């Protein structure tokens, strides 16, 4: 599934398309009302990390070159072992609070860009970016419709070994996610 980011805010879909796009991207999507009267949209996308490539056997005659080959192989062995043993490990957790204003999208994209150096497959990184922008614009256009632009939207992203989780909190009236998903 190859999706393109819109060039302008005006090109972002309306009329339920955002939820449809998010549901096509996400492996898991939930929507709950919290005890502190916020709504939380949870989006999760699983992925496989790209495997570490094996180094070819070292056929160097020079002792120093053979030592370098040995060290490289040892490091790769340790990295592979580390990855196998940390299947649920968390790489990074980011939080951001922005105003309920579509102009905050640029700030959100810059913030999300911090994840680009992590071992997330490029396609998953791009799909996560799309889902995040869609979720945020849904909050601004629907959940916070009629509220002040200074109403906060809280965002959280957690990157695990094989999963990207996003949470978006809003202060609007809750809606029935399951019904909305059936509509679109």
Q: What is the mean pLDDT of residues 107-118?
A: 95
pLDDT value for 131: 96
Task: Return the structure tokens found at 57.
Answer: 């056997």
Given a cut of 60, whether residue 8 has pLDDT beyond it is no
Given a cut of 80, whether residue 98 has pLDDT beyond it is yes
In this predicted model, which residue has the larger pLDDT, 136 or 72?
136
Task: Return the structure tokens found at 43.
Answer: 């989006």
User: pTM for the complete prediction?
Assistant: 0.72
Q: What is the mean pLDDT of residues 51-69?
A: 74
Mean residue pLDDT across the chain: 85
Q: What is the mean pLDDT of residues 149-165?
A: 95
Computed from CA positions of residues 164, 165, 170, 174, in that sequence, does the dihedral angle turn out positive or negative?
positive
Residue 29 bridge partners (DSSP): 43
* Percent composition of the chain: helix, strand, coil (DSSP 3-state, to 5): 40, 20, 35
Structure confidence by residue, pLDDT tens digits, 141-151: 999 999 999 99
Helix (H) or strand (E) holding 85: helix 63-85
Computed from CA positions of residues 59, 60, 61, 67, in that sequence, does the dihedral angle turn out positive or negative?
negative
Name the phi and psi angles at 34, rounded to 5: -90, 165
**In b/e form, how buried is each residue of 15-52, taking b as 16+ CB within 10 angstroms?**
eeebbbbbeebbeebebeeeeeebbbbbbbbebeeeee
Give dist(CA 148, CA 168) in Å, integer.
18
Nearest CA among 3, 4, 5, 8 for reference residue 103: 8
């Amino acid at each position: 599934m190859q999706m393109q980011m819109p060039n302008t805010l005006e090109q972002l879909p309306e009329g339920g398309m955002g939820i449809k796009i998010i549901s096509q991207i996400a492996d898991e999507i939930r929507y709950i009302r919290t005890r502190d009267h916020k709504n939380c949209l949870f989006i999760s996308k699983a992925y496989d990390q790209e495997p570490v490539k094996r180094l070819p056997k070292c056929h160097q005659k020079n002792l120093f070159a053979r030592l370098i080959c040995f060290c490289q192989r040892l490091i790769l062995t340790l990295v592979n072992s580390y990855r196998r043993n940390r299947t649920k490990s968390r790489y990074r957790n980011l939080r951001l609070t922005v105003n309920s204003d579509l102009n905050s999208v640029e700030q959100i994209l810059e913030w999300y860009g911090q994840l680009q150096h992590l071992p997330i497959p490029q396609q998953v990184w791009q799909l996560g970016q799309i889902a995040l922008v869609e979720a945020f614009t849904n909050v601004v256009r629907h959940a916070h419709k009629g509220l002040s632009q200074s109403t906060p939207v809280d965002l959280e992203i957690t990157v695990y070994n094989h999963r990207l989780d996003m949470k978006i909190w809003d202060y609007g009236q809750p809606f029935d996610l399951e019904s909305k998903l059936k509509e679109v």
